[in-house]
Homo-oligomer: A and B are copies of this chain.
């Protein structure tokens, strides 16, 4: 009778699971393409193949869909950084991180745009997430990088800006996809192989310690 809320943790029925997923999938499509305010519940409903009231049976509000997406995807989104291993070989670790992040831009451009849309507008619906989820992780990993620098295993770099640069360069290929594809010469239909080569070169040159 009552909409299935996330509190009582009743075992989900098959229908619930199916529709829940269909809605989030559709919502990701629409939100990432038009932003929160630009998306309408009707559009999401149509994309999900359900009626509008039916969506609001599963999610109390449009906000709830958006927020379910954001929090649900955050872990996936941060997984590559989590894998950065203090015990690994520094340059390999960082290059692997770059590759994984670029791969995410290729495979999950909608997720990238969802976050981009949100942060662009000051992250009103992200609020605590940055402080509470992202910052601790970044603080931890910048420390790892700082140690590598101090040990002379990679060149002198500002750890935070290194991470920003990895994010910016990799996500660019998802977020600004239209622009990239418009500007690239006709022949190159898929920007990613070349992008990977470029970024690997860039970070190799940036991080390899100079003789002296």
Contact = CB atoms under 8 A, between A and B. Distances in A.
B158 A194 contact: yes
A161 B194 contact: yes
A183 interface: yes
A167 B37 CA distance: 27
Contacts of A185: 160
Specify the main secondary structure of chain A where it touches its partner. Answer: helix
A12 interface: no
A121 interface: yes
A138 interface: yes
Residue among A116, A138, A172, A194 with most chain B CB within 10 A: A172
A108 to B, nearest CB: 15
A135 interface: yes
Nearest to A158: B198
B130 A178 contact: yes
A46 to B, nearest CB: 17
Contacts of A179: 119, 123, 130, 134
A207 to B, nearest CB: 9
A135 B168 contact: no
Contact of A183 (B37, B134, B194, B201): B134
Interface string A102-143: 000000000001001101111100000011001100100000
A10 interface: no
Interface of A: 33-38, 113, 116-117, 119-123, 130-131, 134-135, 138, 155, 157-158, 160-162, 164-165, 167-169, 171-173, 175-176, 178-180, 182-185, 194-195, 197-199, 201-202, 205-206
Q: Closest 5 A-B residue pairs measured CB to CB?
A: A37-B38, A168-B172, A161-B198, A130-B182, A205-B205
Given A157-B201, A158-B198, A161-B198, 20 more contacts: A37-B37, A37-B38, A38-B121, A116-B120, A116-B176, A117-B121, A119-B175, A120-B176, A130-B183, A134-B182, A155-B205, A161-B195, A162-B198, A164-B172, A164-B183, A165-B169, A165-B172, A165-B199, A169-B169, A205-B206
